[in-house]
Amino acid sequence: KQEVTQIPAALSVPEGENLVLNCSFTDSAIYNLQWFRQDPGKGLTSLLLIQSSQREQTSGRLNASLDKSSGRSTLYIAASQPGDSATYLCAVNGGNSGGSNYKLTFGKGTLLTVNP
């Protein structure tokens, strides 16, 4: 059974700081990994999707890396801004019994606060 862990559970940083969020998963037989952003009371916004054959993806100030063999991913946020404050969720597709390629397994998230 796939399990996803995110560390830290919460993070508070001053504006302008670079930061790293961590995600680990127990079964490396994944199809892809996705990072989402969730604002309070809102839905999920997909930030980056990394296929199992890829090592990293970049979008603006965000960079996500994937080390499939060790079961780890990191989300790097450069020059953080107060508007980046949200919960960041990591989700993997795959590694479940039955080999489904559509079930996303989520971590509990990292609550990020960027202070002005």
Partner 1 sequence: NAGVMQNPRHLVRRRGQEARLRCSPMKGHSHVYWYRQLPEEGLKFMVYLQKENIIDESGMPKERFSAEFPKEGPSILRIQQVVRGDSAAYFCASSLARGPGKTQYFGPGTRLLVL
The site for partner 1 (CB under 8 A) is made up of 4, 31-32, 34, 36, 41-46, 49, 51-52, 89, 91, 93-94, 98, 100-109
Q: Are strands 10-14 and 110-115 parallel, antiparallel or unpaired?
A: parallel
Please report how close the Cβ of residue 77 comes to partner 1 at its closest, in angstroms.
20
Sign of the alpha-carbon dihedral angle for 65, 91, 60, 84: negative
CA distance 65 to 63: 7
Report the C-alpha gap between 23 and 5 in whole angstroms.
6
Closer residue to partner 1 (CB): 14 or 102: 102
Q: Which is nearer to partner 1, 98 or 116 (CB)?
A: 98
Tell me how far, at minimum, the Cβ of 67 lies from partner 1, in Å.
18
